[in-house]
Every structure is written in structure tokens, then in C-alpha cells.
Amino acid sequence: MQRLPELICPAGSLPALKAAIDNGADAVYLGLKNDTNARNFAGLNFDHRSASEGIRYARDHKRKVLMAINTYARGGDSLRWRAAIDEAAALGVDAVILADLGLLAYAHERHPALRLHLSVQGSATNYEAINLAQSLFGVQRAVLPRVLTLDQVRHVIANTSVEIEVFGFGSLCVMVEGRCLLSSYATGESPNSHGVCSPARFVRWEDNGQGMDARLNHILIDRYGASETAGYPTLCKGRFEVEGHTDYVLEQPSSLNVLAMLPQLLDAGVAAIKVEGRQRSPAYVAQVTRALREALDQAGQSAQRFSVKPAWQQALAKVSEGQQVTLGAYDRPWK
């Protein structure tokens, strides 16, 4: 039996954290209630008390807690980000997930015992970047953006001693994460700066009589027919008129789902598989964690005999954005 990658699941609240652990996550990742993390949504995330309780719950079940501090500190205003790192260290999290080079340096110098993971927002897509983060800051794991093919993931792993974490399931970002400024064109705020693609106060869903209009800062970004599935109200997933045709211009709302290539990911030697969705509810966390736990365990027992169970696919398809799933960039046969 081969060594399994860790299953890393999202927690936007204490019940979601418990749902992840109860259903077989090896580690959960969470953020504080401010713009120091990339799911800065009203009412979501943890304060000191709920984070302490979550960490205690995880410890009692011998699981890990990672804290995402993965937005970029604004010039002249990095105190909140530094305070978040200090708090993570004081809480005793198992690692912090950082993107900003200045914060990586701060954490490395101030808290040498604190384990550092390079966030997907850090946007390291090649082993040179990852090895540099290792030599400069002692980074022990890097999360790869969802733009690499399986062969490229293998190539990275073959050329670094840093652990590699990849996304296994969740709402798909078509951009190279950490390099997207698209939403700031509509709202002045972007994931890197404010921790959210489409800040809720800019979003309006309106019944137009025949369906639903989605607007971002008054800009019409999609118009759903009565029976069409909807997605998150982000510019990248909108439908726009280009040269007389109205359709998805950048991507159609969909979710990444790697179930079909779990044996290959295990064979490639990834250290961890991550589930997206700190903004989702405990019900999502429970359903997705349960399906991936079973699938990973089965793939670990025998890659040859591994087959994707319809029940797993159904569970994941149901909670998917746009209710369709894809292997994304992993499955690109061309070079």
C-alpha cells in the first residue's frame, strides 16, 4: 500500500471544520475574519475563540490545522498581516499558508519554528520559483496553481524537495491564481488585494421576468434563463457579446474534479490534495470530504483495481458550480 497524500479540506466556520474532520480530512485550512485571507466574506471565518476551539477539536482527533494568510499586504499597512502570522503562531497552527514575499520573510525570521506553505496565490508554477522560496524562507510545501498538466506536475515534483500540494476538487479558477486582477476592473477590488473575487456588496441578483440577471457593480455579467444553472458572479464566468455572439468568453462555470486521475496523482508523488470552498457550508464540506476520503483510500489500496464509484461522482457533481466537472489543465494530452 502506498503512502497517501494528505486530504486538505476547507473550513469557513467551526461546524465546517468539524464536518471535515468527522468525514476524514487529514488537515483543514481556515482564515481569520479579515482581509488577510482570500475568502474575506462577511460573516465567514474564525476569531481567536473559534480558531482555538477548532484547533483543539483537530488535535483531539489527531488532525492538522493550517491557516491561510494568503492575500498581499498593502504597502504601508502590513500590520494586520503580521498580526495574523503572530496570532497563527500563538494559536499553534501546524502551518501558515502565505503568498506575499515580505510576509514569508517576516514569518521565517520572527517564527522560525512555524511551518510555511507557499499559497496557490503565490503563483509558483515552476520548480525554480519553489526552490527559491525554499532557500530564502524555508518553505516546506507549495500549492500549485490549477494551470499545470499532470506531466508538468510530475516535472515540478522531480526537481524539488519541497512537498507539492495540488487541487483535487472545487470551483475552478481559470486564471493563474495570484495573477488575476480581473475583478478589480469592475469593483476596484481583487482577490490579491481584498481577498474576494466579487465582493458581495457589489453583487445583485435580479428577477427579470424571464429569468435572473447577475450584476457586478451594475455591470450585467450574466442572464440566466429560468432553468439554466447559475455560477458565482465573477467576471471570468460571465457571458458577453463579442462580435455579435453572446457566450462565455473566458470560461463556463465548472468545478475541477480529479477523481478519475487519483492513481496518477498518487503515482506522481503529490504530498497533499486540496479541496476548494471555505465559502461553502458544512453540508458541502461533509459531502465532498466523505467522497474524496473513500476514493483516496481505495486508490491507495490498489491503483490497478481503482475505479470511480458513481456515488462519489454524483456527490461531487451535485455540489459543483455550474453542475459540471472537468479535469481542467491536468488532462491536456498536448505539450
Binding-site member from 93, 272, 320, 330 for other proteins (CB under 8 A): 320
- Binding to other proteins (CB under 8 A): which residues in 194-223? 199-201, 203-207, 212
Binding-site member from 5, 122, 322, 328 for other proteins (CB under 8 A): 322
Q: How far apart are CA 286 and CA 282, in angstroms?
A: 6
Tell me whether residue 197 is annotated as binding.
yes
Binding-site member from 168, 170, 231, 238 for other proteins (CB under 8 A): 231
Per the rule left: phi > 0, alpha: psi between -120 and 50, beta: everything else, 201 is: alpha
Smallest distance, other proteins to C-beta of residue 41, A: 6
Sequence-distant contacts of 35-38: CB under 8 A, at least 24 apart: 35/71, 35/80, 35/194, 35/195, 36/69, 36/71, 36/80, 36/81, 36/84, 36/195, 37/68, 37/69, 37/70, 37/71, 37/84, 37/195, 38/68, 38/70, 38/71, 38/119, 38/121, 38/191, 38/195, 38/196
Q: Strand 203-207 and strand 272-275: pairing? A: unpaired
If you ran DSSP here, which 8-state letter would residue 175 be given? S
- Name which of 96, 146, 102, 95 is nearest 120 in CA terms: 146
- Binding to other proteins (CB under 8 A): which residues in 24-83? 41-44, 50
Binding-site member from 136, 181, 283, 311 for other proteins (CB under 8 A): 283
Q: Quick one: 5 or 12, whose CB is closer to other proteins? A: 12
Judged by CB under 8 A, does residue 15 bind other proteins? Answer: yes
- Binding to other proteins (CB under 8 A): which residues in 84-103? none
Smallest distance, other proteins to C-beta of residue 246, A: 20
Smallest distance, other proteins to C-beta of residue 326, A: 15
Residues 6+ positions from 99 with CB-CB distance below 8 Å? 70, 71, 72, 118, 119, 120, 121, 122, 123, 178, 192
Tell me whether residue 9 is annotated as binding.
no
Longest CA–CA separation in the chain, Å: 59
Judged by CB under 8 A, does residue 227 bind other proteins? Answer: yes
Question: Which 3-state string (H, E, C) describes 280-331?
Answer: CCHHHHHHHHHHHHHHHHHHHHCCCCCCCCHHHHHHHHHCCHHHCEECHHHH
Residues in contact with other proteins, shown as a per-residue x/- string from 142 to 181 under the rule CB under 8 A: ----------------------------------------
Q: Quick one: 98 or 196, whose CB is closer to other proteins? A: 196
Q: Quick one: 16 or 95, whose CB is closer to other proteins? A: 16
Judged by CB under 8 A, does residue 279 bind other proteins? Answer: yes
Q: Quick one: 122 or 199, whose CB is closer to other proteins? A: 199
Q: Residues at the annotated binding site for [4Fe-4S] cluster?
A: 173, 180, 197, 236
Note the residues at the interface with other proteins (CB under 8 A).
12-16, 18, 41-44, 50, 199-201, 203-207, 212, 224, 226-231, 253, 279-284, 286-287, 318-323
